[in-house]
Homo-oligomer: A and B are copies of this chain.
């Protein structure tokens, strides 16, 4: 697993292109909305009428299982899109999306999203690319998550995101890793102790 598994996903290339579109003559179809921390942008099992692209800020995409447990699929930041999965199969959303910080978000209504896909080759290509990246990311993360002990996962995360615990709450972290907060704490403590000894 030498593959890169970013915890907080971004897609600068896509964001740039959305900005280009926004300032073009057809830019009218791209709205801008805002969200404050804890605000839910889309709910789980809800019909979806638009896609959203993060312009600024940090959000989480999570789903609540029947057992009551939450599982966080991904944290997304600049350039990441959501709501698009549901567009293609007319599904209800399988994730809820919630803001963790103040966010600024582009919003494109369903019908305009379709139009763009049909009429704008570059847009079409970027969406294909980003879907492929999502599949890859999700698949690799699942495999990694199943194959290594908690400690390894935590060490990885800290390497990537040094400010880990200040950015993301312990509760969210635990739900991202699919473990309990108790286990998260114990592992943190073990790591800390071991680091002091050396």
Contact B132 A132 (CB under 8 A): no
Most buried by B among A141, A143, A144: A143
Contact of A136 among B1, B66, B85, B133 (CB under 8 A): B85
A160 to chain B, nearest CB (A): 17
Pick the interface stretch among A33-41, A52-60, A101-109, A123-131.
A123-131
Smallest CB-CB separation from A176: which chain B residue? B146
Counted per complex, copies of this chain come to: 2
How extensive is the interface on chain A, given as a class? 35 or more
Contact of A144 among B65, B127, B141 (CB under 8 A): B65
State the CA gap A29–B135 with chains docked (Å).
Answer: 26
A144 to chain B, nearest CB (A): 7
- The residues of B that contact A63 with a CB separation of less than 8 Å are 139-140, 143
- The residues of B that contact A91 with a CB separation of less than 8 Å are 136
Contact A87 B132 (CB under 8 A): yes
Contact of A94 among B87, B127, B139 (CB under 8 A): B139
Contact B135 A134 (CB under 8 A): yes
Given contacts A131-B132, A132-B84, A138-B135, contact A65 B147 (CB under 8 A): yes
A187, CB-defined interface residue at 8 Å: no
Residues of A within 8 A of B (CB): 1-3, 63, 65-67, 69, 71, 73, 84-89, 91, 94-95, 117-118, 121, 124, 127-129, 131-136, 138-148, 178
